[in-house]
Amino acid sequence: MLRCALMSPSAKRTCPWEFIVTRDEAKLRPLAGCRTYGSQMFNTATAAIIIALDPTLCDNTWMADGAIAAEHILLAAAEQGVGACWCHVYEREGAPELTRRLFDIPEDKVVLCAIALGYPDEERQNYDLTKLKYDKIHNETYHCNNGR
């Protein structure tokens, strides 16, 4: 997963990300309280990867660079049968401060998200290809979205 993250593309190949890996329950459990909703997966997660970025290394692309790295991790996790979920940290209640404190992340880095990793407790059904949001696809012009 981490190799995939390190192979993710970034604008001008600036690689503005840092990946903080934890398997420590004493840090994982408090992460569950970093948000009112949407962070409860850390109550049971066995590990997490926190993605922090240096915004000075790139020209307004840090969030895109971080999101791509996160998606690489999520795809690698799925490939390996590991359950994974993105918990958004950036500009969410006190989440950046708590995460920064738990992992000693310097102030000059922005914390984008924490990816929870663990054993999946449900079997996901494949997407029904007939039910995808085909109306999001536009042919030649925005106003033509007759899908397929």
Ligand X SMILES: Cc1cc2nc3c(=O)[nH]c(=O)nc-3n(C[C@H](O)[C@H](O)[C@H](O)COP(=O)(O)O)c2cc1C
Task: Provide the binding-site residues for ligand X, judged by CB under 6 A.
Answer: 38, 85-88
Closest residue to ligand X, based on beta-carbon distance: 38
Minimum CB separation of residue 56 from ligand X in Å reads 22
SS3 state of residue 44: coil
- Least distance (Å) between residue 107 CB and ligand X: 22
Q: Where are the alpha helices (DSSP H) in the chain?
A: 2-6, 25-31, 62-79, 95-103
| CB 32, CB 39: distance < 8 Å | yes
CB of 38 to ligand X, least distance (A): 3
**3-state secondary structure at position 5:** helix
Of the two residues 22 and 140, which places its CB atom closer to ligand X in the complex?
A: 22
| CA–CA distance, 130 with 148 (Å, rounded to integer) | 10
Q: Where are the beta strands (DSSP E) in 9-141?
A: 17-22, 47-53, 83-88, 110-118
In the complex with ligand X, the residue whose CB is nearer, 20 or 70, is 70
Q: Is 62 helix (H, G, I), strand (E, B) or coil?
A: helix
CB of 112 to ligand X, least distance (A): 9
